[in-house]
Every structure is written in C-alpha cells, then in structure tokens.
Structure 1
Amino acid sequence: MKAPGKLYIAGEYAVVEAGFPAIIVALNQFVTVTVAESENFGTIDSEQYKETSVNWRRAGDELVFDNRDNPFHYLLSAIRLTETYARACGRELKFYHLSVDSELDSRDGKKFGLGSSAAVTVGTVKALCKFYNLPITKDILFKMAAIAHLDVQGNGSLGDIAASVYGGWIAYHSFDHQWLASKRAEVSLVDLLNMDWPGLSVELLTPPADLRLLIGWTGSPASTSHLVDKVTWAKDKEKQEYRAFLDASRACLDRMIAGFRTGAINVIQRELRVNRKLLQHLSSFSHVSIETVALNSLCAIAEDHGGAAKTSGAGGGDCGIVLIDRHEAVDTLLQDWESEGITTLPLSVHNVMDLV
C-alpha cells in the first residue's frame, strides 16, 4: 500500500491550534508498505534501515520486540493501533512480515522534509487494514493514523497525515487535541473513529489551471516537533502577540482558500506573501529560526523572477515553495537556485483516487 508525501503551502504553526486552517499538498513521492503472513514470528524491515530490521513475537495479543532501539516508532505505533481496531472488529491477530520502502528520503539518507513519518504511519495503517480485511474509509484512515502519529510525536497539527490520506491540494483545519485525549479515556476506539472530531475539516481544493508549484530544498534538515515545541513555549510568554498571529493567519488563509475557489492566482500569490510575513513576525517574537539564510535566498530569487515564495512547514531548513504562473519562464530562476546550492525537487501533485 502506498502513501504520498506532502508539503505545507501556508498556515504553518497556526494550524496546530484547533480549527485553524492550512493549505497542504500531497506529492508524487511515496512510502510503500507491504504485509505478508508468516508463522511463529514476524519481521519489520525497511530499505532505508537495512542494518536495523526488527524481529517480533507475540505475548497474547501484544507485540514483543527483540530490538530495544529501532527507528520505527511511528510504524510500531500504527501497528499497535490498527491491531487494536482489528481485535475490536473480531479479527484474530496473525504473524506477518512487514516491509517499508520510502521515496521520501534519498538513498544516501538525506531528508527532504516531505512528511516521511506521516506517510509511513498512513501506509502501515492502510496495509494492515487490507491484511486484516477491516472496514476503512478515508476519514477513519485519517483518524487512526492521526492517533498513532500523535502518540509518538506528541504535538503538531496532523495536517501531513491529512495530505497523505486525502491527496491533492487540501484546506485543512486541525482538531481539538485535548478533546481527543479525554475521549480516548472514555470511549472505545471504534466509537471514537466514528465520532465527529471538534474543529476537524478537510476540503479538497482545485488549483487554477495556470498555477505552478516549484519546490526548492536547501540541503539542511529540520525537526518539526522541536520547532513546534519552541513556539509552544513562546506563546505562553507572548500571549497577545501569539493571539494576533493566529487571527491574522486565519484571515490570510481564508482569503487564500477563497482564491482557490475562484481560480484567482493573483489572490493566492498575494496571500502567500502575507503568510510569509506573518511567519517572519512569529519568528521574531518567539526567537525561533523559521526562515534560514538559505530559505531567504530561495524566496528572494523566486520573487525576482515573478513567483510568490515562502518557507514550507516548520522551516528551520528543508524546503521552500514557489507559486508562479505557468506562463512565466523559470529556467533562470532554477539556475540561480542551483548557483546558491538550492536543489530543485522535480515533484508534482498527487491526487488520491481511492484507498488502494
């Protein structure tokens, strides 16, 4: 089963608050998870982590792992949650060999910031739901993968999960994490998956036909969870500034989403620039480095060539994005990026048609 990677277009940081919007896009680079039934013991391996494959056995319905240290935390969380769902649906648990192959990180270990942990989580839930023949919809897949991912990361909006599940361009509003935590202690997993989650909304967007997305990678990886943690600490000290940032981000994203609905490239580009300024202000009062020197250079070059540009995701490294009219020539832009050590990622938008 495949799950695509993602990139944030706008709305970062504000989207971690319940009900606040972001625009995210799914990309045509994937994590592939396969499951094959086995006897007596199971394995988990990855093309990216050949030296640290995991063997496991069962103690009742619990998975017992032979390796104490492993890089598969999100994957293991997805397994545990999906098997809880399987038991609730009356399935008998089995042994199996589970294999992961990712296109989201390079073969030499470079991380592009395309949401590999989210895609691994989504792909694992999808593969095991198929293996156990479990009832699954995109909404249930999102909720299961969101819970499993949140159990490991502990923060974030889960917008990368939504992009991997629903595909294409989406307007995503995050759910209330505190509500979820309290409900998990009160109701069964099956009931929880079938509830409406406060604040949660996913709208599929149709981009203007002439809108082109360019992606530049700065060569410097960043930790989303650590950056979000730092902003979380800052918002408690700068409550008024943070509240103003949230309100401005919501207004900006509402206008940008309206631009998608009406097919207005100029509106989308204008609001992307507004969102960049908002993130720069957030960086200033939170003392969190969002737009690095390399990302600033990436954006400046794009703006010089008629594109609207900003950081993507938490910033601090990884990727920047450009929205530009298809009629604009981009050869010189890409050459200027290359001269500054910025790598163009030749990716396109992936639309998820079904759960296969």
Structure 2
Amino acid sequence: MIVKTPSKVILFGEHAVVYGYRAISMAIDLTSTVEIKENSDKIILNLNDLNKSLKLNLKDLKEIEPNNFGDFKYCLCAIKETMDYLNIEPKKGFELNISSNIPISCGLGSSASITIGTIKAIGKFYNKPLKDDEIAKLGFSVEKKIQGKASVTDTSTITYKGILEIKNNKFRKIREDFEEFLKSCKFLIVYVEKRKKKTAELVNEVAKIENKDEIFKEIDKVIENALKTYNKEEFGKCMAKNHDLLKKLNISTPKIDKVVDIGNKLGFGAKLTGAGGGGCVIILVNEEKEKELLKELNKENVKIFECKMVY
C-alpha cells in the first residue's frame, strides 16, 4: 500500500500569522511517499533518503518516547497517535518505507507531509481509513507533541490540499475563482541556502521589532489585493510587495534577495516563503521568459523545483 502526500508553501503572510493576522498557504506537488507492508512481528521503519532503519518489537511500541528517536520521531509519534485513536492492539507487524523529494527544514512542511502520510497509511493498513478532519487533528497533535507547540498551517494544508486562509490557528478553504486561477499558475520553488536560524529564533527576533504591527497590517492589505486578482502580473506584484515587507522584519538574507530580484525581473513575481533566515523562494513563472529565468537562477548555485498546486 502506497500513500503519496503533498507539501505546502506560504504564499503570503508568514510571521504576521503568529499575531492573529491572515496567511495564505497552498498545497504543492513536491511529495513524500509512505509505503506500508505486512511484517510478522516487528515494526520496521526505513528512512530511504537518509539510509537509516529502525526495528522495534510490537510490544515495545506503547512504552517508547518518540522524541528520543531523532529522525524517526515524527513517524513514530504518528504511528502511536493513530493506533491510540483507532484503539488498535497490533497483532501483526509492518514495515514502513519513507522517501521524499521535499527539501527539509526550509518551510515546505516536510515533517508534516511524512506525518500525514504515516497516519493515512496506518489507518489503511488496519482497514480503518480516516476522514480528513480526523487526519488533520491527529497530525496537529503529533506536531504539538514533538515540537511543544504547533500551528495548524502545515498539517491542515497538506491534509485538505488546495488553498487555505489561516487566521488565529483556524482555517478556511478558499475555492472557486481564486482556486481556479492558481491552478493555471506555474511556480518554481528555489532552495537558496541552508537556514542559519531556527523558526523560534526568527519569531523571537521579529517580536522585538517596534513597528511590526504596522508591517503586519500592510501585509494584510497585500493579501486582500492578492485574493481579488486573477491576473498573474498583478498577483506577482503582490508577492514582491509581501517580500519587501518581510525584509523590514529582517528575516531575509542577501542571497534570498538576489534570487527574489531575479524572480521579479524574469518571472511575474517572487518572495521568500517560510520563516526566513535562508531557505526557499517561490517564483511565479512567466513562461515567455522561463528559459532566461532558469539560466540566471542556475548561476546562483541553487536547487530548483517546478511545482503546481495540489487540489
């Protein structure tokens, strides 16, 4: 049994969302894959991209503390949470093979994607498939247990797919015209550089900025305009404006800014996505200038991923 799960990108509103303002997130087709198959009496977890494996006895599962298992912690916690929720006493073991083409630790929801994929796989394996509402709640619970605190953004976007508006840790799905418009858009995710700081550090630094609320209000106006336009050129300008406001929060870097400038010049628009301090840029592609865009980006020693919305 194979479960493929998308990742996510923040189109607008990172950091502002921490203070109760809106953010717009989108599920994208960079995916993780969880394959589950029966095993006699063990639980075997294989992280194929890291070339790491873990074997556990079935009876040990209830006693373990996932946070003590490093790279395996998200999938172990997802297994435990799902089995507890479904009231499963495992009589047969299983092997999970996990792989992903999502860059890690750069704001694309790689851990949430694997978490949601594992929850779905366990439900299907034991013939107790879960509804989206159940999957999203379990995913949020896993992230909260592993991280200490969590946002609904990653797990909800990856579960429900499409476009979500996040506010006060609640969400609504955006459909119809705006969703149709974004289906027609082609994006590049550009992994620019390793993040120099963790999200929590960046959030704490933004908290010290005196005029942050003025900046967040400006970002909210950008979101309002972006939701009303179905024109790629105007939407790209909204992305560029959001990036300029994020620069005022001191979360960009010189290399991120350089890639954003290339995206603004040869695409319809660009911005950093995620907490900042490095990581990724999202570019709305102008297909008439795409070859030139790729040529310029390739000079910057970056990794480029073509993506579309998953719905």
TM range (shorter): 0.7 to 0.9
Are the equivalent residues in 2 in contact too, given 1:55–1:67 (CA < 8 A)?
A: no
Q: Does 1:336 align with 2:296?
A: yes
Cross-structure match for 2:239:
272
Say if 1:13 and 1:111 are closer, same or farther in 2 by CA, change over 3 A.
closer
Could you tell me which amino acid in structure 2 is paired with residue 297 of structure 1? K
- 2:173 is matched with 202
Q: In the TM superposition, what is the alpha-carbon distance from 1:278 to its structure 2 partner? A: 1.6
Q: What residue is the counterpart of 2:263 in the other structure?
A: 302
Q: Who is 2:164 aligned against?
A: 171
Paired residue for 2:279? 318
Amino acid in the other structure paired with 2:154: D
Q: Report the TM-score, using the length of structure 2 for normalisation.
A: 0.85
Measured in 2, the distance between the counterparts of 1:76 and 1:304 equals 45
> Which residue of 1 is the match for residue 140 of structure 2?
146
**1:254–1:116 Cα change, 3 Å:** same
Alignment of 1:128-147 (within 5 A): 128-134=122-128, 136-147=130-141
- Tell me the distance in 2 between the aligned counterparts of 1:245 and 1:42: 49
Amino acid at match of 1:275: N
Give the drift of 1:103: 2.6
1:313–1:45 CA distance, 2 compared to 1 (3 A): same
> Do the aligned residues in 2 keep the contact of 1:5 with 1:29 (CA within 8 Å)?
yes
Q: Which amino acid aligns with 2:5?
A: A
Matched, 1:92 2:89: yes
For the pair 1:217 / 2:191, whether they are aligned, the reply is yes
Percent identity of equivalent pairs: 25
Change in Cα spacing, 1:317 to 1:230, as seen in structure 2 (3 Å) is closer
- Aligned-partner Cα distance in 2 for 1:100–1:317: 30
State the Cα RMSD in Å: 2.8
SS of equivalent residue, structure 1 residue 93? coil
Match of 1:195? Answer: none
Letter in 2 for 1:243: D
Q: Tell me if the contact between 1:157 and 1:174 (Cα under 8 Å) persists in the aligned partners.
A: no
**Counterpart-to-counterpart distance in 1, 2:94 and 2:54:** 11
Residues 344 and 116 (structure 1 numbering): CA distance in 2 closer, same or farther, change over 3 Å? same
User: Following the alignment from structure 1 to structure 2, what is the Cα–Cα distance between the partners of residues 320 and 95?
Assistant: 44
Aligned partner of 2:211 in structure 1 is: 241
Consecutive unaligned residues of structure 1, counting only runs of 5 or more, are 177-198, 284-289, 352-356
Residues 181-200 of structure 1 aligned to structure 2 (within 5 Å): 199-200=170-171
Q: Deviations over 1:301-326 (max 9, x none)?
A: 12222521111112222221112444
CA distance in 1, matches of 2:126, 2:238: 45
Unaligned runs of 5+ in 2: none
Q: CA deviation at 1:276?
A: 0.8
CA distance in 2 between counterparts of 1:171 and 1:69 reads 32
1:234 CA drift (Å):
4.3
